[in-house]
Amino acid sequence: MKIVSLNVSRPVTFEWNQESLKTGIFKQPVKEALHLSFVNLDGDEQADLVNHGGPDKAMCVYPYEHYAHWEKELSRPLAPAAFGENLTVNGMLEPDICIGDIFQIGDALVQVSQPRKPCHKLAKRYDRMDLPRLVLTTGFTGFYFRVIREGIVAPDSTISLVEKHPLGLTVSFVNQAMHGDQMDRAAIEKLAGLQELAANWRQAFEKKRQELNNSETE
């Protein structure tokens, strides 16, 4: 596991199809060490605080291994932070990283909280309205950290696994349970009760569980 780049940005406004959009997606790599608080890195902000940011989304992580696929798909080279992530990494792929896993990065202690769900601003950044769907179908979503202990994180900080969650429910497993064609009752039951999973995702799985129960009683 290795940091490729540490990335932050303040919100900026850009024009797309005669629409003005304010977004923090245009992150840039930094060379200096930054303080990671319970909600974000110093120098990083979100424009839409309803759908982005907060304790369960303190740091967005994206695997650099996926870049080659997207460069081919988008027919363009991609620099680190191309997906608006705070942390571009090697060696942390969705089939291997589990909800609830705890890592130390620099002085900070973080925990995997949820998959990343791409939004319309990613699509508009690359003028590809099908991009969020492609991200979900490939499973190349990345994920979020919540912060357990604040601390200093630098571009050359090491990433160390502190604790593997005993249930072993990977980011890929959660993505499939949420976005797959078939509703898997066993998976939904596990995820609705997984306390380390972000609250809004648990609520979504609880809704799926209720839908299954209702369909079985009809």
CATH classification at residue 29:
2.40.33.20
Note down pLDDT in tens along the chain; length 218 residues: 999 999 999 888 888 878 888 888 899 999 999 999 999 999 987 755 555 568 999 999 999 999 999 999 999 999 999 999 999 999 999 999 999 999 999 999 999 999 999 988 899 999 999 999 999 999 999 999 999 999 999 999 999 999 999 999 999 999 999 998 777 889 999 999 999 999 999 999 999 988 888 876 65
Measuring CA to CA, which residue among 151, 64, 161, 156 is closest to residue 112?
161
> Could you tell me if residue 75 is inside a domain?
yes
> Could you tell me if residue 173 is inside a domain?
yes
Q: Are 123 and 88 in contact (CB under 8 A)?
A: no
> Could you tell me if residue 54 is inside a domain?
yes
> Could you tell me if residue 206 is inside a domain?
no
> Could you tell me if residue 134 is inside a domain?
yes
Domain that holds residue 102: 2-180
Q: Are 137 and 188 in contact (CB under 8 A)?
A: no
CA 184 to chain centre: 23
Domain count, the chain: 1
Rounded to whole angstroms, the Cα distance separating 80 from 82 reads 5
Rounded to whole angstroms, the Cα distance separating 30 from 6 reads 6
> Could you tell me if residue 211 is inside a domain?
no
> Could you tell me if residue 154 is inside a domain?
yes
The pTM (predicted TM-score) of the whole model is 0.92
Residue 49 tokens, joined: 């605080």
Rounded to whole angstroms, the Cα distance separating 55 from 58 reads 5
> Could you tell me if residue 43 is inside a domain?
yes
Rounded to whole angstroms, the Cα distance separating 179 from 177 reads 6
